[in-house]
Structure 1
Amino acid sequence: MTLTDVFLQELLRRYQANFDITENFTLGDTTYPAYAWFYSLSEKYVLKKEATLWAIKAFEHVLFSKVDSVSEDTLDDIMTTITNEAEPILVRKNEKYPEKDHMCTYITFIVVSSKDPDEIAQKKIRKFHFDKGYLFNFRGHSEARLAVISMESGNVWTNYSGRDIKPLLTDAYSISSDIVKHKNMSTADVLIKSVS
C-alpha cells in the first residue's frame, strides 16, 4: 500500500466521526476517491419547537482528489468544478437559491499530490478564492477552501479559508508516514530472516 493510500485512509478515518463519507464519488465527469458531507442545524425556539425564533443551517462538502502534481491547470479545473458543478449541485441543489435558513456552505477540496507544486502553483493556491452570496446574503453564502498536501515532503499549502485544515493534514501525514515506514521495516525484517 502506498503512502498516498495510507494517508487517505487515515484522513477519512478522522472525517468519519462527523461526516458522511462516500468513496468513489462522481461529480460531473470526474470520479473522486472520496466525498465527505456534513450538516449542522442550530435553532432557537420558545417553549416548543413549533415556535421557532430562528434557525441556522451550515454545511460542508469535502472532495478528496489524488494527483501526480498540482499545476495552474489543476487549480483552474478545481475552480471550474466549483463554479459549474459543486456550487450549483451540492449547495443549491440546482435551485436558484439554497434552502431556507441556509447560513453557510464550505466547499472544500483536499488535493493529495505525489510531488510538491512549483512556486507559481503555490502562489496560486494561496490566492485561490471563491465566495458567493445568495439574495444579498439573506440566504447565506458559500465559500471554497483548498488544501494541497505533498506526499514527497509532507508540506501543506492552503488558501486563506483553508488554513485551519493544515494541522489535521500535517498530523495525518505524520502518522501515515510512520505506518508506511514501520510496515516497510517489518517487511525488510521478514526478508532478512528468510534469507538468513
Structure 2
Amino acid sequence: MDKLIYLNHLAKVFSNNFHLEINKSLMNKRIDIYGVWNMKFGRNFISRNKIIDEYECNEHCLVVSEDRVDEKFLDDFINYLKKCTLSLVNPHKNHKTTYITGILVTKNINDEDIMRKIKRFNYTKNYRMSFYGWSILRLIAVDLNNGKIYHNKISIDIVDSLSFDKINII
C-alpha cells in the first residue's frame, strides 16, 4: 500500500475527533500528522453553577512515517514519546488522564525483536501520586507491505480504526 494513501486515511479518521496539524515540527522532530483531543467532564449539584467535581482527559496522537524502522529508531521514538509526557501534559488538580499515541507508519518490519518490543511496551507516568492524574503511552507500528499492525496492549481499543479494511481507494 502507498504511504500517502494510508496517511490520508489516518487524517480522515482522526479529523472526526481531533484537531489536526499536518507536517508539524514538535520538539525538533518532524511529525506527519499531529492530533489533539481535549474533553472536560464534571458533576454538578442542584444547578449548573454548583460544580461538585470536574476532570479533564486529553489525547495527543503523533504519526511518523519512516521507510525503514530498526531497533535504534524504535528506541529513539519511544524515548521521544516519553519526553512528550513532560512537554505536552499539563498536570493540575482537575487533570485525570492523558494518552499519548505514537504511530509509526513504515514499509516493512521484518525483525522479530522489534515486533516483540512493540508488543511488550508499557509506560505510565503518575503526577503527584496520581492526585494530578497520569499519562499513558500507546505505541503502534503499521507495516504497509505486509498489511499488519503491531501494537502494545493498551492500544487494542484503537487498532480497529487503523485497519486496512476501512480504506476506500478510489
Task: Tell me the TM-score normalized by structure 2.
Answer: 0.93
Check whether the contact 2:62–2:101 (CA below 8 A) recurs between aligned residues.
yes
2:154 partner SS: coil
Post-superposition, which runs of at least 4 consecutive aligned residues in structure 1 deviate over 4 A?
Answer: none
Match of 2:24?
25
Check whether the contact 2:93–2:131 (CA below 8 A) recurs between aligned residues.
no
Q: Distance in 2 between matches of 1:53 and 1:30?
A: 41
Once the two structures are TM-superposed, the CA of residue 70 in structure 1 deviates from its matched residue by 2.2
Write out per-residue CA displacement over residues 36-76 of structure 1, whole angstroms, 9 at most, x where no aligned residue.
00011110011333311111110000000101122221221
The structure in which a higher percent of residues are strand is 2
1:83 partner SS: helix
Match of 2:165?
174
Q: Distance in 2 between matches of 1:100 and 1:31?
A: 32
- In structure 2, give the amino acid aligned to 1:47: I
1:5-16 alignment, distance < 5 Å = 5-16=4-15
Check whether the contact 1:147–1:165 (CA below 8 A) recurs between aligned residues.
no
Match of 2:147?
154
1:1-196 alignment, distance < 5 Å = 3-84=2-83, 86-92=84-90, 98-170=91-163, 173-176=164-167, 179=169
Q: Distance in 1 between matches of 2:109 and 2:78?
A: 20
Check whether the contact 2:81–2:102 (CA below 8 A) recurs between aligned residues.
no
- In structure 2, give the amino acid aligned to 1:51: K
Once the two structures are TM-superposed, the CA of residue 175 in structure 1 deviates from its matched residue by 4.4
1:91 partner SS: coil
140-149 or 75-84, larger mean C-alpha shift: 75-84
Check whether the contact 1:107–1:145 (CA below 8 A) recurs between aligned residues.
yes
Once the two structures are TM-superposed, the CA of residue 174 in structure 1 deviates from its matched residue by 3.0
Q: Distance in 2 between matches of 1:174 and 1:8?
A: 14
- Quickly say closer, same or farther: Cα 1:63–1:165, change in 2 above 3 A: same
Once the two structures are TM-superposed, the CA of residue 18 in structure 1 deviates from its matched residue by 0.7
Structure 1, gaps ≥5 residues long: 93-97, 184-196
Write out per-residue CA displacement over residues 126-165 of structure 1, whole angstroms, 9 at most, x where no aligned residue.
1112100111101110000011111101101001111222
67-76 or 37-46, larger mean C-alpha shift: 67-76
- Quickly say closer, same or farther: Cα 1:117–1:133, change in 2 above 3 A: farther
Please report the RMSD computed on the Cα atoms of aligned residues, expressed in angstroms.
1.5
Q: Distance in 1 between matches of 2:68 and 2:159?
A: 19
Q: Distance in 2 between matches of 1:160 and 1:37?
A: 22
The structure in which a higher percent of residues are helix is 1
1:161 partner SS: helix
Task: Tell me the TM-score normalized by structure 1.
Answer: 0.82
**How many residues are treated as equivalent by the alignment?**
170
- Quickly say closer, same or farther: Cα 1:158–1:48, change in 2 above 3 A: same
User: Among the aligned pairs, what percent are the same residue?
Assistant: 26
